[in-house]
């Protein structure tokens, strides 16, 4: 469906008929083959998460986040408790099914059911899940849930200097949409913010690519991928950057 003109000859966007809005995500467990997402609970997850994040001894994971690294377990736990008090953000602990322990954090934020837009963020993948299928499957579970709830737009934003995050967004099939210059001041430094997104009409092809990559047939006996995810998703990107 394309854009239309009104009776004044002015160009309008394409019609969105019978739009009822999306359904707000709820704090429920979401499971896959390699991991499950559990609503973040400091009393349950804090100890193992702190241990997992402490494996990042240089604090690289925290460089582009507006908080952390934390000097003590108590400081980290206080931060986790605060996460649960933000009504606009829904945090999840990412659980490794093999060890049954939390190895990372992810969240939904800027949740706008009335506009059909939702963002994934507050991503912190400990060394225990980096470069493993857990990282990809966790993001697939988040994206799949968002589109199943009727959201039209799924966003990923990161510091424009965070090349790893930018590559990850595009590897997952989210298209580059531009950079907002001087979007924020974070830890005393300027932050330009890079925007990536997938929309509902993108999702079927992205889902097929992610499902194909995550399937058991795509891994050999040593757990090595046969086909890279980037080779499956790059043709789907509207723009790269």
173: domain CATH number is 3.40.630.30
Beta partners for residue 180, in sequence order: 193
Per the omega criterion (within 30 degrees of 0), is the bond before 69 cis? yes
For residue 238, how far is the Cα from the chain centroid?
19
User: Per-residue confidence at 3, pLDDT binned at 50, 70, 90?
Assistant: confident
Taking 70 as the threshold, does the pLDDT of residue 1 lie above it?
A: no
56 domain residue, yes or no: yes
In whole angstroms, what is the distance from residue 63 CA to residue 1 CA? Answer: 43
Q: What tens digit of pLDDT does each residue of 109-145 get?
A: 999 999 999 999 999 999 999 999 999 999 999 999 9
- 168-188 mean pLDDT: 98
In whole angstroms, what is the distance from residue 56 CA to residue 53 CA? Answer: 6
227 domain residue, yes or no: yes
3 domain residue, yes or no: no
Q: What tens digit of pLDDT does each residue of 88-100 get?
A: 899 999 999 999 9
Backbone phi, psi, residue 170, to 5°: -75, -35
14 domain residue, yes or no: no
205 domain residue, yes or no: yes
168 domain residue, yes or no: yes
Query: pTM of the prediction?
Result: 0.95
Print the domain residue range for 217. 26-236
Long-range contacts from 228-236, C-beta under 8 angstroms, 24+ separation: 229/136, 229/171, 229/172, 230/170, 230/171, 233/170, 233/171, 233/172, 233/173, 233/206, 233/209, 234/170, 236/173, 236/202, 236/205, 236/206, 236/209
In whole angstroms, what is the distance from residue 179 CA to residue 184 CA? Answer: 12
Number of domains observed in the structure of the chain = 1
6 domain residue, yes or no: no
105 domain residue, yes or no: yes
């Amino acid at each position: 469906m394309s854009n239309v003109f009104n009776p004044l000859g002015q160009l309008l966007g394409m019609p969105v008929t019978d739009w009822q809005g999306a359904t707000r995500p709820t704090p429920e467990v979401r499971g896959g083959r390699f991991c499950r997402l559990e609503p973040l609970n400091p009393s349950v997850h804090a100890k193992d998460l702190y241990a997992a994040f402490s494996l990042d001894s240089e604090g690289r994971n925290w460089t582009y986040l507006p908080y952390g690294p934390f000097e003590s377990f108590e400081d980290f736990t206080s931060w986790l408790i605060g996460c649960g008090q933000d009504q606009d953000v829904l945090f999840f602990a990412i659980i490794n099914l093999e060890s049954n322990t939390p190895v990372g954090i992810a969240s939904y934020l800027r949740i706008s059911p009335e506009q059909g837009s939702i963002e994934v963020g507050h991503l912190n993948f400990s060394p225990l899940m980096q470069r493993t299928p857990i990282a990809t499957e966790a993001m697939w579970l988040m994206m799949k849930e968002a589109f199943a709830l009727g959201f039209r737009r799924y966003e990923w934003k990161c510091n424009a200097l965070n090349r790893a995050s930018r590559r990850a967004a595009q590897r997952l099939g989210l298209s580059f949409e531009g950079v907002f210059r001087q979007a924020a001041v974070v830890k005393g430094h300027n932050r330009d913010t890079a925007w990536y997104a997938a929309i509902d009409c993108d999702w079927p092809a992205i889902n097929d690519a992610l499902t194909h990559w995550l399937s058991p047939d795509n891994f050999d006996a040593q757990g090595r991928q046969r086909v890279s995810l980037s080779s499956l998703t790059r043709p789907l990107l509207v723009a790269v950057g």
